[in-house]
Amino acid sequence: MAYPIRQMVTRLGVLTAHPAAFVVIGIYALCWALLSRDGLDWHGVATLATWLMTLLIQRAEHRDTQAIQAKLDELLQAEHRARKELMKIDEREPEEIERHRERTQEGG
């Protein structure tokens, strides 16, 4: 049961890096401004700014991770002795990747 939840959380992290996440925040801000004008004070603006900055950071991190992954894929393709299953390791859950790294560091 915990495995589908992990997949959902991982997918949610990827979705927050998508440009559509900014549209969702914009729609939320517009609804907030229209439906609760008194509630959109400095505290509300700070909350929206925090969400936007979080999305910007998430987007930059996702871009950097994807760039590193593309470079590693290229290196693995160029090195014929590399194990091909490593090219698909990014499709696994973070916990599985950590276990794989621990086994590799132990020499097995």
Domain ranges of the chain: 2-106
* Model pLDDT, residue 53: 94
Confidence of residue 23 (pLDDT cuts 50, 70, 90): very high
* Model pLDDT, residue 2: 58
* Model pLDDT, residue 49: 94
Q: Tell me, what amino acid is at 13?
A: G
Q: Which residues contact 93 (CB under 8 A, 6 or more apart)?
A: 3, 6, 7, 10
* Model pLDDT, residue 93: 80
| % the chain with pLDDT above 70 | 95
Whether residue 80 has pLDDT greater than 90: no
* Model pLDDT, residue 73: 83
